[in-house]
A and B are shown apart, each in its own frame.
Chain A
């Protein structure tokens, strides 16, 4: 009876129903290759791998954010991308695993689909230290499973190398932090004494994801805020432009892969290979 009623109503009203096309590509050239994923590797996009470990897409995006300011009069010292902005959901299908081979522009935009502007600001050493402490404060220590990883974890550009000990208390977990080979000291100096310039999405620089130490910096003239000008200044477009012009877009053998040395995890739960 209920099925009959349902079927009758659906049939009668079907022509009046309309839904948004959720599969419509976010870019005009979705099939264009932007880079290769290195042969013999995979990129994992599930939450534990995007938010609880080094992630190849996140690292490339961070490198792109630093690259986009490299030719300006205020190049940045490093860049970060929050793990929450690396998404597996996609428009129509969820992609937990990207296989080796070409990465298309459409897929990249589905992975980085927030389309936030990229900005750069000056930070003090203390603010940088606080930034990375906040980044790792919610990481799960062994032997716990990674249950609900926070999107606050930062993927870092190649200028950064950091060691995290998850057995230590929150906000005191970063045991080593270097930027361009220079070690930072805890708790960090004031901006008059030591200054770093950082690039990230406007979301992070406005204090999103709990980065309260950044609130107001993006509008404070003394911090020299600036917006990325190339590739429309949008994070996913910048990442695509960076990858397309680089060495990773030549052969699959020269493709990009994760660099585990950027953030070294000690006593932290390790993400595993997801199912696709």
Chain B
């Protein structure tokens, strides 16, 4: 019955695609679009000249649900062409236009006859992932085929050279201006269509960190994954839709090896393989860093609605990724496929949000934009106890998750055949919200946290004739944060008989931080002899604090009401050196050089070796903690990877990577007013040193065809060690400096994943991870870091219910957490957070009337009460309460 439903649903599949009305003469026409609501083993564009017969050109699955191919230049002759798109499963069905009502494209340009020469490549005239096309004639011999890496196969069938289109009678067309060069390009890059227009931009994203590969709840391995020595996780748009998640961190919590928690201030914290530190996880949006230079936090909890995919790398990724990629890398990629999509949702707790995503190509120019607006009153949960309990003042202690978010981006790219592709994009992000509990250990309902980010980047990419490319990219980033925290509630009086310690509006503290950065990266990718592919580049960036301000309405030590917010005495801000000059931690110049080579000596083996060398401006201090200046600190990050493909359905991988971890300005120079409410907070330590992570992992990936579906299994083991790790360990209960753990921190563990996908609508998946993290500087009996779950299980099921409906169920489990015991205070501030299991359920439609999708989502449907760790568990004894059950309704319209 399920299969019948699936087959029925498949007939409702559509191909979201915008066809041009006209196209230039003798230039290949790129066809791309998203497949929605169906699963096909192949997708074809069927093309005919006026009055002619249709010919097939296969579209290649790029990633997610995005297919791409091209109609050869030879077909682009006046007066025009007609085409429609078919999906091939058990039967072939039209999914865009039809044979009787094809799309018509007028071909314009000079039509003077000239001899035909080789132009663009045939539009991926091969079957998906090397599979021989059952319904196509035998392929012509391809002398390049044996030189190419063996491609993945859905089933262990022999792969042959790509077959040509069924029928290809090229009529005479005008000779291209540089036919020899184009022909050469075709030979060298026969696996890929030429990079033109939007393609170049998409390819650029895909190659940003080496290659795209999928894992975790993903179901598809990209062709290039075979040479990727790590096992990243990529959640594409369809998977994000099936996961029953609304925001990025909800999705990340389902990725093996990751655990997401919230702190008292409401920030989401992601732990990578048992280690949790914001500056050690590089988070990027379309390749541009989101981490704030000051503290490493990222304004990254964005709605998933406008995301094309989320990429997660555990450990140091490839050498071209800059500093900040220590325990992991998370890259968010916005959708840029053609069309317009609008969605809106509403949920309990006054949750409303709207999303717009649009992209279109107009000649050589592609424009794209995305906008998220989200508002929520948010779940309110009681806080069992806080640091002021036991007093005579009656207070209500309730969490406050009120939030308003705007995230808007726009850009354009221009593709030229001769000069490559230029692109520019800009983004504005603004968030204002309350603190979930407060600053530290007291409920502060009137806290207000603002965060504004402006980013821009521009790039140029020139594909080389031999298949390589040259790319230059410049970026700019400015982030302003203003965080006003209420440290004690309205009407609080610190000393009952002392009216000077009365605070009618509560005890307040405000910090304002402004950071600005810009940089340039240039790199080249070159195809070298002996089956080498070399990437080399340089990067330069400058980051600075242009604003650092701490204000309080209480007087340090005496706790007397100071009236208005003012700068407390005795604080040396990060932008100051204490001698009238600028603080050396406030500016950072970084120079980087990177190089990595992928060598595929034989089809079944690929070796990747890389090296990154950075010079980073870091502050220096003497033994008393006084600044002495700054120095350019060298760091080296080697990478070495190996992939072996003994059979087509199995890849074995091994990888070693080392990366440098620079302390943040916050860790160097954070200042905190010394009052009653801040005892136990962390302050900067000018004597901090940088740290290194060494990460080794080995794993296997296996793919098994199951009828028309597939089963994918993955397993990975890892060992990571951070020498000189920068951590927060409370040793005194007062203002505690960040410290280096001289003996380091290490983590060892395994990650496993399985996904059975019968159709795009029928899938079941599970992943699990285990980690043992230890702080080697702690006494032997206190080394295990247990504030992050050691075991995680996630699983899900997507089932079609008839023609129009789908049900998604997702379960999430995290094992018990306890306090660390690296110091006496951590030891005696005991807490136990029991293991938790939450379930999400989702009911969503297939596209109605071809354009409308509806979704009803319930999160934590069994209303499991759970909490995260508070920084002062001895005072906030119930931890940080997490969300109760919630329900949302969403409507989405796409054209």
Contacts and interface: CB of A to CB of B under 8 A. Distances in A.
Given A5-B813, A148-B391, A203-B732, A114 B824 contact: yes
B781 A24 contact: yes
Contacts of A17: 790-791, 815-816
Interface string B271-303: 000000000000000000000000000000000
B790 A16 contact: yes
Contacts of A87: 828
A210 B674 CA distance: 8
Secondary structure class of chain A's binding surface, majority of residues: loop
B413 interface: no
A22 B830 contact: yes
Contact of A20 (B781, B837, B839): B781
A171 B560 CA distance: 12
B781 A84 contact: no
Contacts of B732: 203, 208-209
A2 B497 contact: no
B691 to A, nearest CB: 23
A138 B676 CA distance: 9
Nearest to B731: A114
A221 to B, nearest CB: 14
A137 interface: yes
Interface residues of A, number: 44
Contact of B734 (A1, A90, A134, A210): A210
Interface stretch (A6-14, A29-37, A224-232): A6-14
Interface stretch (A72-80, A139-147, A154-162, A240-248): A139-147
Contacts of B543: none
Nearest to A139: B495
B558 interface: yes
Interface in A63-94: 84, 87, 89-91
A210 B388 contact: no
B613 interface: no
B781 A147 contact: no
Contacts of B829: 89
Interface in A188-218: 203, 208-210, 212
Interface string B208-245: 00000000000000000000000000000000000000
Interface string B731-757: 111100000000000000000000000
A6 B813 contact: yes
A19 B770 contact: no
Contact of B839 (A2, A84, A89, A115): A2
Interface in A83-125: 84, 87, 89-91, 113-115
Interface string A148-189: 101100000000000000010111000000000000000000
Contacts of A91: 827-828
A90 B828 CA distance: 7
A19 B828 contact: no
Contacts of B793: 9, 12-13
B774 to A, nearest CB: 10
A151 B784 CA distance: 29
A147 B392 contact: yes
Interface in B469-512: 495-498
A21 interface: yes
Secondary structure class of chain B's binding surface, majority of residues: loop
Given A141-B497, A210-B674, A9 B815 contact: yes
A210 B735 CA distance: 9
B836 interface: yes
B497 A144 contact: yes
A79 B335 CA distance: 68
Given A9-B813, A13-B770, A115-B824, A18 B498 contact: no
B391 A6 contact: no
Interface in B370-391: 387-388, 390-391
Nearest to A87: B828
A132 B813 CA distance: 53
A151 B497 contact: no
Contacts of A209: 732, 734
Given A20-B782, A20-B821, A148-B676, A10 B835 contact: yes
B864 interface: yes
Contacts of A148: 387-388, 390-391, 676
Contact of B824 (A113, A144, A171, A210): A113
Given A5-B837, A10-B815, A20 B495 contact: no
A115 B779 CA distance: 13
A18 B495 CA distance: 45
21 contacts: A1-B839, A9-B813, A9-B835, A10-B835, A13-B770, A13-B791, A17-B790, A20-B784, A22-B821, A22-B827, A89-B828, A89-B829, A90-B828, A91-B827, A113-B824, A113-B827, A144-B495, A169-B498, A170-B498, A171-B558, A212-B557
Interface of A: 1-2, 5-6, 9-10, 12-13, 16-22, 24, 84, 87, 89-91, 113-115, 134, 137-138, 140-141, 144-145, 147-148, 150-151, 167, 169-171, 203, 208-210, 212
* Cβ-closest 7 pairs across A and B: A144-B496, A89-B828, A13-B791, A9-B813, A2-B862, A147-B391, A6-B837
